Structure 1
Amino acid sequence: MKQMRHFSEATLPLFPQGDEDEAVMTAPVTGRLPSYIADHRKRLRDRFMETGGQGVADYELLELILFRAIPRQDVKPLARRLLDRFGDLARVVSAPASRLLQEHGVGEAVVAELKLLEVVAQRMARSKVMQRPVLSSWTALLDYCHTVMSHAEQEHFRILFLDRKNVLIADEEQAKGTVDHVPVYPREVVKRALELGSSAVILVHNHPSGDPTPSAADIDMTRQVARACAVLGITLHDHLIIGKDREVSLRSERLI
């Protein structure tokens, strides 16, 4: 009678393996973690659960994420390398898959775990603002915009569509651009607002440089959109430019 192979990990990865370093992948699979790795993983999980994550360093949080994708390897060196390479945990999670795959020890399973976390974070932030009046959830709205856009390496242009009570009824990405430009067509903004029955809009785009200071082109485009909206009775409430650590409101700056 065949014996069942036992694994010391409590759970198997959500996604297929394929990320372990080449030496690990070619070595015979014993089905059991070395005791020092198993003990470290248990201690880290226990500390995370006992403290609710308080006091757990970013590299340790990244380790916890990597445990699932790389079940039979010490992932601390990889976690530290990724943080050194990209700068912080948020930038690791939001890094493009193509750049992540360039890092030694990162394969499709690691990328899938990181992208899963990114999507969950974005949807949690989005759930706090959708179908709610923007004035009463302005801080949550800014948090959402930063979660989705502040770490992107290209410019992204979004439109937030509001109804007559300023409730956010739709949030759509309209275009992607380069590191310093994204094409915006006022006619398309107005057309989509009419399709959704929106009475007001908020424009949002990011500056990959991290500096949200509006350019002359940003200001000119915003004023073009404002004029196109006004013709059909649609209000342009604001244009937010998202940087790494802060945002700029063109309305607050009296640029529209």
Structure 2
Amino acid sequence: MNKPEIHTPQSAIENNSGIRIPQSGIKDLFDFIVANAIYPMCSRKGKVFLKSSKRGVLTQEVAEQIIERLNIKTAADCEKIRKEVMAKVSERRENRPIKEWVKEERPREMLMKYGADSLPLSKLLAIILRTGKEGKSAEELAKSLLNKFGTLRRIDSTPISELRKIDGIGLAKAAQLKAALEIGKRFYKEQAEKKKRLRKPEDVIGYVAEYYGPDLRDEEKEFFYVILLDIKNKPIQSVEISKGSINLSIVDPKEIIKEATLRSASSVILVHNHPSGEPEPSEEDVKITKAIVDACNLVGIKVLDHIIIGKNQEDYYSFARIGLIK
């Protein structure tokens, strides 16, 4: 087994244990402590001692020299120096490749040990990115993304060409991010498709929120979909009926009836988004909804609801819940 690498400055003197401790000044000694992740601690009885995540660094002789030269005597001394060391260690670590981190602090190892749900978003993104760039770890790269875009939704809605403008994000990393986010959206769609019958507005809103919300909230154009259901009100398929301009989606009731008839649907749910972000229906929304309901009634197809998707996760307007569809 290879011996752990022990960092020492050139101006250091080797002690009896073979470890070279800097002698030129407190700054060099502090750099030695940071490089080797040495932390001063204090027991309940007030005894000062040192801990390090690196094996073979802290012999009793080394510890005694450090404690004496830094004049560490109390719990307050330990806490003060420990905080300074932790801050410097964190700074150094963030600028090093993850493979050089202490094993227990690497994102993948943490995921394996504690589970994915225990990791902060920056570490999960670091696992997806896999590598960083020179002078910046994958986690630091992930933090740069989060600092710029704020949320996964904004990262998802940002074109690859814009993501690539982030220093360290090339085509491969941008594609990895897009693929991971798409997998997440498809997972929610799978869950939504397994839902039971859609009997009341709350069921419909929940289904639409999972199945369409992630895709349509951030669209800059208006999309109109119809969800086709069987005789038990279970979803069969969804069909895109139209894709409009920023404030208008042209919908032909005949197209909806055609799709429903082809797939033997007994009822339908209408879904469209408002790029403005406000889910309240316009006069045109109310008018086209009435036209679709009337046309479907003529051929025995029931319109269960019409859901408008707004910008935020909770922004959904249900025509059935308000009583505009009965």
- 1:148 counterpart (215, 226, 241): 215
Match of 2:138 in 1: 75
Q: After the TM superposition, which residues 19-34 of structure 1 pair with which residues of structure 2 at under 5 Å, given as runs? A: none
**Residues of 1 paired with 2:283 and 2:317: CA distance?**
14
> What secondary structure sits across from 2:117 in the alignment?
coil
Match of 1:133 in 2: 197
Alpha-carbon distance change, 118 to 185 in structure 1, aligned in 2, over 3 angstroms: farther
Match of 2:324 in 1: 255
Instruction: Give the TM-score taking structure 2 as reference length.
Output: 0.59
Greater mean alpha carbon deviation, residues 57-66 or residues 188-197: 57-66
Checking the alignment, whether the CA contact within 8 Å between 2:223 and 2:243 is kept in structure 1 is yes
Q: Which whole-Å deviations, capped at 9, do the CAs of 1:4-54 have from their partners, x for residues lacking one?
A: xxxxxxxxxxxxxxxxxxxxxxxxxxxxxx964314495222222333233
Match of 2:257 in 1: 190
Match of 2:99 in 1: 38
Alpha-carbon distance change, 44 to 228 in structure 1, aligned in 2, over 3 angstroms: same
Q: Does 1:95 align with 2:158?
A: yes
Checking the alignment, whether the CA contact within 8 Å between 1:163 and 1:199 is kept in structure 2 is yes
Checking the alignment, whether the CA contact within 8 Å between 1:121 and 1:147 is kept in structure 2 is no
Instruction: Give the TM-score taking structure 1 as reference length.
Output: 0.74
**Residues of 2 paired with 1:89 and 1:36: CA distance?**
24
Q: Does 1:208 align with 2:275?
A: yes
Q: Could you tell me how far 1:176 is from its partner in structure 2?
A: 2.8
Q: Which whole-Å deviations, capped at 9, do the CAs of 1:165-205 have from their partners, x for residues lacking one?
A: 11100022333334433332222111111111111111112
- 1:120 counterpart (178, 183, 189): 183
**Residues of 1 paired with 2:274 and 2:166: CA distance?**
25
> What secondary structure sits across from 1:203 in the alignment?
strand
> What secondary structure sits across from 1:238 in the alignment?
strand
> What secondary structure sits across from 1:92 in the alignment?
helix
Unaligned runs of 5+ in 2: 1-94
Alpha-carbon distance change, 52 to 245 in structure 1, aligned in 2, over 3 angstroms: same
Q: Which whole-Å deviations, capped at 9, do the CAs of 1:140-186 have from their partners, x for residues lacking one?
A: 54322223322333322221100111110002233333443333222
> What secondary structure sits across from 2:242 in the alignment?
strand
Q: Does 1:65 align with 2:150?
A: no
Greater mean alpha carbon deviation, residues 150-159 or residues 230-239: 150-159
Number of equivalenced pairs? 222
Unaligned runs of 5+ in 1: 1-33
Q: Could you tell me how far 1:253 is from its partner in structure 2?
A: 1.7
Q: Does 1:218 align with 2:270?
A: no
**Residues of 1 paired with 2:96 and 2:147: CA distance?**
28
Q: Which has the larger radius of gyration?
A: 2
Checking the alignment, whether the CA contact within 8 Å between 2:107 and 2:124 is kept in structure 1 is no
**Residues of 2 paired with 1:41 and 1:166: CA distance?**
54
Alpha-carbon distance change, 41 to 241 in structure 1, aligned in 2, over 3 angstroms: farther
Among all aligned residue pairs of Structure 1 and Structure 2, give the percentage whose two residues are the same amino acid: 33
Moved over 4 A (4+): 70-73
- 1:245 counterpart (306, 313, 322): 313
> What secondary structure sits across from 2:323 in the alignment?
coil
What is the letter of the counterpart of residue 98 of structure 2?
Answer: I
Alpha-carbon distance change, 162 to 67 in structure 1, aligned in 2, over 3 angstroms: same
Q: Could you tell me how far 1:248 is from its partner in structure 2?
A: 1.3
RMSD of the TM alignment (CA)? Answer: 2.8
**Bigger relative contact order, structure 1 or 2 (CA pairs below 8 A, ≥6 apart):** 1
Checking the alignment, whether the CA contact within 8 Å between 2:268 and 2:302 is kept in structure 1 is yes
Alpha-carbon distance change, 215 to 195 in structure 1, aligned in 2, over 3 angstroms: same
**Residues of 1 paired with 2:243 and 2:101: CA distance?**
42
